[in-house]
């Protein structure tokens, strides 16, 4: 089973490149033949002369980041991007979602989807597509949303996962909250799973846990790539009988949206503390030594979960004795919970305040995004916020 990755914009391309770097290092262990082969098949296409070519498509509206990525991977000698797997233009989307979504996306749809199709055709069996981007800029967010929509139309039965980088709260881009609101509201309808990394949180990991003094995007991206790699690399599911999971990204969420709460279910909530981070579903992935003896009951406690879903349905675990990237033991939790509620609420609040005074709206309407479109996006995210608040 293979995954095709689509890297979009500066952030998507830089994080994507680190991801392939991490995976190629991790899989490069001849002692672990089955694991390595499974990982290689998942992420790389092996050429006749045994070169590993990433199953990835690189898209940006400006050329710099993509050419840097290609140059860097060429030097590593371990793997490379495909010769015809990238597409760039001369000028970016200027941090404008509407420019990406309404102009660049449709204009380049044919060539971009052609590159994706070629990559898909290289796979014996497609497990799904991972689209990677930031939500705050113009290309990753706008073109990325448009491309996700095209992927949904072209591959209706394939699993589509969006990996999103959430902007710093302080923000480098004045309209980042508009771009984020538009991206999230659209992807919520299109995507099978959305995995989010917050720049602020990862930055804190670099500063406090890793003691890095001058933190660069490269440092942040390495942490993101490690976490993402440890989610996507082969692991054994509960019922797999020793065979690596065939569908690595088809994470079997029992419920995708909290709005699926059965009608008439009362919220008892008596066993939960106020302000507690309630989860809808959690996936724990353990790798390395002693995985079978790990004490995991803390993750299964019913008080962590919403009362209308049995805890054994809300919790899943994957594991493998193969260590990840030379860590003796590692654990990663993929959590569908209230964690993102506060950042989302902040983001929507800030965007709404700007919208109330119609600040910068003309920058969007001139490309074809109307005030109605904004209102629809606000409504849809308010619904998400309200549903998650009530978990
Ligand atoms: N973690 C991380 N965040 C990044 C990186 N590059 C940019 N960002 C974040 O992404 C947002 C800006 O989006 P970009 O990806 O630069 O924009 P783009 O998709 O290239 O769009 P345009 O340049 O407007 O065409 C900001 O929130 C940045 O903090 C990166 O390499 N790593
Ligand atoms: Mg850019």
Is the C-alpha dihedral spanning 184, 189, 190, 194 positive or negative? Answer: positive
Among protein residues, the one with the nearest Cα to ligand 1's atom 12 is 137
In contact, 152 and 187? CB cutoff 8 Å: no
Could you tell me the distance, in angstroms and rounded to a whole number, from the CA of residue 148 to the centre of ligand 1? 18
The three state secondary structure string of 324-344 is CCCCCEEEEEEEEEHHHHHHH
Per-residue pLDDT, 259: 38
Separation CA 312–CA 307 (nearest Å):
12
Task: Categorize the per-residue pLDDT at 274 as very low, low, confident or very high, splitting at 50, 70 and 90.
Answer: low
Give the pLDDT confidence score for residue 250 in this predicted structure.
53
Specify the DSSP class assigned to residue 306: -
- Model confidence over 224-267: pLDDT tens digits? 999 999 999 999 886 666 667 665 655 443 333 333 333 333 43
Distance 226 CA to ligand 1 centre (A): 19
Average pLDDT, the chain: 90
Mean pLDDT of 286-302: 92
3-state secondary structure 32-57: CHHHHHHHHHHHEEECCCCCEEECEE
Q: Is 132 in the pocket of ligand 1 (CB under 6 A)?
A: no
C-beta 172 within 6 A of ligand 1 = yes
| Domains defined for the chain, CATH in brackets | 2-237 (3.40.50.1440)
Q: Is the CB of 220 under 6 A from ligand 1?
A: yes
User: 168 exposed, middle or buried (CB, 10 Å; 0-12, 13-18, 19+)?
Assistant: middle
For residue 9, give the ligand nearest its CA: 1
For atom 23 of ligand 1, the residue with the nearest CA is 92
Average pLDDT over residues 270-274: 49
Note the pLDDT of residue 351: 97
State the Cα–Cα distance between residues 256 and 284, nearest whole angstrom.
17
Q: For the residues 352-371, what does the mean pLDDT come to?
A: 97
pLDDT, one tens digit per residue, over 46-99 is 988 889 999 999 999 999 999 999 999 877 788 999 999 999 999 999 999 999
Q: Is the pLDDT of residue 307 over 80?
A: yes
Range in 237-246, 288-297, 308-317 the model is least confident about: 237-246
**Res 161: pLDDT:** 96
Pick the ligand that lies closest to the CA of residue 136: 1
Quickly state the pLDDT bin for 305 (edges 50, 70, 90).
very high
- Residue pointed to by tokens 């590993």: 52
- pLDDT of 257 reads 39
Q: Is the pLDDT of residue 388 over 50?
A: yes
Q: Best mutation site among 140, 141, 201 for ligand 1, i.e. most ligand atoms within 8 A of its Cβ?
A: 140
Residue 22 confidence (pLDDT) above 90: yes
CA of 167 to the centre of ligand 1 (A): 8
Decide: 38 and 247 in contact? Cβ < 8 Å: no
pLDDT of residue 49: 87
> Are the CB atoms for 161 and 130 separated by under 8 Å?
yes
State residue 276's pLDDT score: 80
What is residue 308's predicted lDDT score, i.e. its pLDDT?
86
pLDDT confidence tier of residue 378, bands split at 50, 70 and 90: very high
pLDDT reported for residue 369: 98
> Which ranges in 191-288 belong to alpha helices (H)?
199-204, 217-232
User: Could you tell me the pTM of the whole model?
Assistant: 0.93
């Amino acid at each position: 089973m293979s995954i095709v990755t689509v890297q979009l914009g500066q952030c998507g391309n830089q994080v994507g490149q680190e991801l392939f770097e991490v995976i190629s290092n991790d899989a490069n262990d001849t002692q672990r033949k089955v694991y390595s082969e499974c990982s290689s098949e998942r992420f790389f296409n092996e050429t006749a002369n045994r070169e590993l070519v990433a199953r990835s498509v690189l898209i940006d509206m400006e050329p710099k980041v993509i050419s840097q990525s290609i140059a860097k991977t060429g030097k590593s000698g371990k793997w490379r991007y495909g010769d015809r797997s990238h597409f760039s233009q001369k000028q970016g989307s200027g941090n404008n979602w509407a420019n990406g979504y309404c102009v660049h996306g449709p204009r380049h749809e044919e060539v971009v989807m052609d590159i994706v199709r070629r990559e898909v055709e290289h796979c014996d069996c497609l497990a799904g597509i991972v689209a990677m981007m930031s939500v705050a800029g113009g290309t990753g967010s706008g073109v990325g949303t448009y491309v996700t929509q095209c992927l949904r139309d072209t591959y209706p039965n394939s699993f589509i996962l969006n990996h999103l980088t959430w902007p710093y709260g302080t923000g480098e881009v004045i309209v980042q909250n508009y771009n984020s609101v538009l991206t999230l509201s659209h992807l919520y309808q299109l995507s099978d799973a959305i995995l989010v990394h917050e720049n602020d949180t990862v930055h804190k990991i670099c500063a406090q846990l890793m003691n890095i003094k001058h933190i660069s995007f490269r440092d942040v991206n390495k942490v993101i790539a490690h976490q993402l790699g440890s989610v996507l690399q082969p692991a054994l599911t509960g019922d797999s009988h020793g065979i690596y999971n065939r569908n690595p990204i088809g994470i079997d969420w029992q419920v995708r949206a909290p709005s699926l709460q059965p009608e008439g279910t009362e919220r008892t909530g008596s066993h939960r503390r106020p302000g507690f981070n309630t989860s809808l579903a959690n996936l724990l992935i353990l790798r390395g030594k002693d995985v079978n003896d790990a004490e995991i009951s803390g993750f299964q406690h019913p008080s962590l979960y919403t009362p209308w879903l049995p805890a054994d349905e809300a919790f899943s675990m994957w594991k493998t004795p193969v260590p990840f990237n030379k860590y003796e033991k590692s654990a990663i939790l993929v959590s569908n919970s209230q964690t993102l509620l506060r950042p989302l609420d902040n983001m929507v609040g800030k965007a709404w305040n700007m919208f109330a005074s119609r600040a910068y709206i003309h920058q969007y309407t001139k490309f074809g995004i109307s005030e109605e479109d904004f209102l629809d996006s606000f409504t849809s995210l308010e619904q998400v916020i309200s549903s998650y608040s009530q978990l």
